[in-house]
């Protein structure tokens, strides 16, 4: 165990001696690294690292790839280009490979030394991606005290703040296990400034029964642990809040269409969830068309899928309204039973066309990944996009209802159907338009849901009850109430999940809604006007 630590120490000490004026790697040095006994080769390797020649990295990589041959007192690097054949290591000059050239054999000890040097060179590479990969590889291995000079050298020249934080964490890890008291105390204070879960784990391990025995250092470790836990707790709180807002935006998208069909038209549409499902499957079909016919523009498929999902769901909604629902206005029980039967028919139709298994809808590359706000808080791009999309749809629907001729007709028919008919408004056609609009918004909700979950025949069943709760809680026919209820129920549900679990949280939310409706039957915002007095 002492010999590997000794040569690693030599390598790290050599790295500390890196100077800004790099010397060229000579053929004699290259031959000394490639041939001879392992101790002599490691010594030559240490000297070459100290001189910091970029050619050393190419030689070391060639040695690791078994592409180095030796003949006489010259080392040759075999090239993939047959016309070149080989180059003399250290001079990069092309040369024919001698017939008596022997292959360089690296035992495990020498290969470990070469890999250590390669990691050292990558830590000080001018390319940030190379340094990041080297730090990630090093962090996944068990750190040795002899690697501390290597980390110090890389930290001295590192300019990226994120990579600096990772290097500081590795240095603090080594200091925390050091035999020197001052280093352990300094590590305890440094870890207290971190907001990473890894720092919490290190502090907890050091405070274990077999950890730190010095009382002053233990006190510093406990204070640092409390500071780190406080920062991580804020990340968890913000994560719960974001998750609640994300769920609320999904509920808002789902409930917007229902707020029109149920809130404005008084139709209890139990097939609303299946209209969402149709929108999700329309997104799936558009994705497949782009993958087969426009693979170069695949990332743009979601832009085409949004209007497609709206139109397909709106057409299905128009067909349902003209064929079934138009005969059931002002008969809520019959409407509920009829739309429930339609939902079963739509689910079976989808099973027959696409199969009972879920289908895969792939995120575009620009919706993959996320923004890391804190070490324990990452905001996914797809959920951020859904939040923005939900409010864009809300703004569009609100403007259409308040500012357009169709919106004026819908509000007129909703408030007083007979008077609207008397002034020439085609009430039957407006009913179809309004129901189609609600169905199209459900299709948009299905398009959004396809980016965060599975798409299957039962997609709509998971959200229909929650959507009705949002509409009833917010106030029938009130878009503002729908917004507040959706976001509020989403955050409340996620808060309760952290306390009681997913199932009990659903039950508790339902109980809260029942109690709220008992106290305020009209919801958060009461409907105003003649329809409220009817």
Instruction: Answer left, alpha or beta for residue 392, where phi above 0 means left and psi between -120 and 50 means alpha.
Output: alpha
Residue 311: which pLDDT band, with cuts at 50, 70 and 90?
very high
Instruction: State the average pLDDT for the chain.
Output: 79
Q: Which of 2-16, 72-86, 277-291, 420-434 has the lowest mean pLDDT?
A: 2-16
Residues 60, 118: Cα–Cα separation, whole Å: 7
Report which listed range, 128-132, 356-360, 529-533, is most confident.
356-360
Residue 282: in which H helix or E strand, if any?
helix 272-293
Question: Architecture of domain 240-533 in CATH?
Answer: Orthogonal Bundle (1.10)
Cα→Cα distances 164→31, 153, 199, Å: 36, 12, 15
Q: Which of 89-98, 127-136, 506-515 has the lowest mean pLDDT?
A: 127-136
Lowest mean pLDDT among 97-101, 106-110, 112-116, 230-234: 112-116
> Which residue in the block uniquely carries the two structure tokens 């998750």?
243
Gyration radius (Cα) of the chain, Å: 34
Query: For residue 313, what pLDDT band results from cuts at 50, 70 and 90?
Result: very high
Which range, 19-33, 345-359, 372-386, has the best average confidence (pLDDT)?
345-359
Q: What percentage of the chain has pLDDT greater than the value 70?
A: 86
**H or E segment to which residue 312 belongs:** helix 301-323
pLDDT of 149 reads: 65
pLDDT at 71 (0 to 100)? 86
Q: pLDDT tier at 7 (50, 70, 90 boundaries)?
A: very low
Question: Using 50, 70 and 90 to split pLDDT, how confident is the model at 217?
Answer: confident
Residues 6+ apart with CB under 8 A from 268: 262, 332, 335, 336, 339
Instruction: Give the DSSP H/E element, type plus range, for residue 75.
Output: strand 74-78
Encoded tokens for 146? 């002899």
Residue 54 pLDDT class (50, 70, 90 cuts): low
The DSSP code sequence of 219-232 is HHHHHHHHHHHHHH
Least confident window among 5-14, 31-40, 192-201, 359-368:
5-14
Residue 151: how many other CB atoms lie within 10 Å: 25
Using one digit for the tens of pLDDT, what is the confidence trace for 399-432? 888 888 888 888 788 777 788 888 888 888 888 8
Q: Which residue has the tokens 């008084």?
A: 266
Distance CA 463, CA 450 (A): 13
- Considering Cα of 386, then 392, then 398, then 401, what sign does the dihedral take? negative
Sheet hosting strand 68-71, strand order edge to edge: 93-95, 86-88, 74-78, 68-71, 102-103
Rounded CA-CA distance 97/71 in Å is 9
- DSSP string for 52-114: T-HHHHHHHHHHHTT-EEEETTEEEEEPS-TTT-EEETTTTEEEPPPTT-EE----HHHHHHH
Q: Which of 96-100, 201-205, 244-248, 349-353 has the lowest mean pLDDT?
A: 201-205
Instruction: Taking residues 16-33, report their average pLDDT.
Output: 63
Helix count (H) and strand count (E) of the chain? 22, 7
Ranked by mean pLDDT, the top range of 23-32, 137-146, 312-321 is 312-321
Strand-pair category, 93-95 with 102-103: unpaired
Q: Do residues 489 and 509 touch, judged by C-beta distance below 8 A?
A: yes
Q: Which tokens in the block code for residue 86? A: 């080989």
pTM of the model: 0.68
pLDDT tens digit sequence for 331-354: 777 888 888 888 899 999 999 888
Contact 122, 131 (CB under 8 A): yes
- Relative orientation angle of helices 479-500 and 381-403, to the nearest 10 degrees: 150
Distance, CA of 132 to CA of 140 (rounded, Å): 12
Please check the confidence at residue 278 and state whether its pLDDT lies above 80: yes
pLDDT (0 to 100) of residue 11 = 46
pLDDT value at residue 124: 67
Residue closest to 28 by CA, chosen among 117, 91, 104: 91
Closest C-alpha to 447, from 223, 283, 256, 250? 283
Average pLDDT over residues 373-392: 85
Least confident of 119-128, 236-245, 306-315, 401-410: 119-128
Amino acid 307: pLDDT: 92
Phi, psi dihedrals of residue 129, rounded to the nearest 5°: -65, -35
Q: Could you report the per-residue pLDDT of 450-497, keeping only the tens digit for each?
A: 888 788 888 888 788 888 888 878 776 667 778 888 888 888 888 888
Confidence (pLDDT) at 16: 40
Residues 6+ apart with CB under 8 A from 511: none
3-state secondary structure of 259: helix
Residue 67 in this model has a pLDDT that exceeds 60? yes
Asked if residues 4 and 112 have their Cβ atoms less than 8 Å apart, the reply is: yes
Residue in the structure block whose two tokens are 């060639």: 62
Per the model's pLDDT, the better-predicted residue between 502 and 59 turns out to be 59
Question: Between these two residues, 47 and 236, which has the higher pLDDT value?
Answer: 236
Q: Are the C-beta atoms of residues 144 and 8 closer than 8 Å to each other?
A: yes
Q: Kindly report, residue by residue over 163-175, the tens digit of the pLDDT.
A: 777 777 777 777 7
């Amino acid at each position: 165990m002492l010999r590997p630590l000794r040569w690693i120490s030599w390598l790290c000490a050599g790295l500390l001696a890196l100077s800004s004026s790099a010397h060229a790697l000579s053929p004699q040095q290259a031959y000394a690294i490639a041939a001879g006994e392992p101790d002599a080769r490691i010594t030559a390797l240490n000297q070459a690292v100290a001189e910091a020649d970029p050619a050393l990295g190419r030689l070391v990589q060639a040695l690791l790839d078994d592409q180095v041959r030796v003949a006489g007192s010259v080392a040759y690097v075999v090239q993939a280009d047959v016309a070149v054949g080989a180059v003399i290591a250290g001079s990069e000059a092309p040369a024919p490979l001698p017939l008596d050239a022997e292959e360089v054999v690296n035992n495990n000890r020498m290969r470990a030394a070469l890999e250590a040097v390669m990691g050292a060179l990558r830590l000080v590479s001018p390319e940030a991606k190379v340094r990041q990969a080297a730090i990630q590889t090093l962090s996944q291995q068990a750190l040795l005290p002899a690697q501390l000079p290597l980390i110090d050298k890389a930290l001295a020249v590192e300019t990226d703040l994120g990579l600096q934080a990772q290097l500081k964490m590795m240095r603090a890890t080594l200091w925390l296990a050091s035999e020197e008291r001052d280093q352990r105390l300094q590590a305890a204070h440094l870890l207290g400034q971190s907001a990473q879960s890894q720092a919490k784990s290190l502090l907890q391990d050091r405070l274990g029964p077999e950890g730190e025995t010095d009382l002053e250092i233990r006190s510093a470790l406990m204070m640092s642990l409390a500071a780190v836990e406080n920062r991580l707790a804020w990340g968890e709180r913000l994560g719960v809040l974001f998750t609640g807002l994300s769920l609320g935006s999904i509920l808002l998208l789902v409930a917007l269409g229902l707020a029109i069909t149920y809130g404005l038209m008084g139709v209890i549409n139990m097939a609303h969830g299946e209209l969402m499902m149709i929108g999700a499957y329309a997104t799936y079909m558009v994705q497949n068309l782009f993958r087969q016919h426009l693979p170069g523009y695949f990332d743009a498929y979601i832009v085409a899928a949004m209007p497609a999902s709206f139109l397909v769901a709106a057409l299905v909604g128009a067909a349902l309204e003209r064929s079934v629902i138009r005969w059931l206005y002002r008969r809520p029980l019959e409407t509920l039973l009829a739309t429930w039967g339609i939902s079963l028919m739509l689910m079976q139709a989808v099973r027959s066309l696409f199969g009972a298994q879920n289908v895969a809808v792939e995120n575009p590359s620009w919706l993959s990944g996320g923004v890391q706000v804190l070490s324990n808080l990452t905001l996914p791009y797809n959920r951020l996009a859904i939040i923005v999309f939900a409010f864009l749809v809300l703004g569009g629907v609100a403007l259409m209802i308040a500012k357009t001729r169709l919106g004026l007709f819908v509000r007129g028919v909703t408030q007083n159907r007979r008077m609207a008919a008397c002034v020439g408004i085609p009430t039957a056609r407006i009913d179809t338009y309004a129901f189609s609009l609600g169905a199209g918004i459900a299709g948009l909700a299905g398009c959004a849901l396809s980016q965060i979950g599975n798409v299957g025949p039962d997609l709509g069943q998971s959200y229909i009850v929650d959507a009705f709760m949002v509409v009833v809680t917010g106030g029938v026919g009130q878009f503002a109430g729908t917004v507040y209820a959706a976001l509020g129920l989403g955050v409340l549900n996620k808060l309760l999940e952290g306390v009681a679990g997913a199932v009990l949280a659903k039950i508790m939310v339902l109980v809260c809604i029942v109690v709220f409706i008992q106290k305020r039957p009209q919801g958060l915002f009461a409907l105003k006007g003649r329809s409220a007095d009817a």
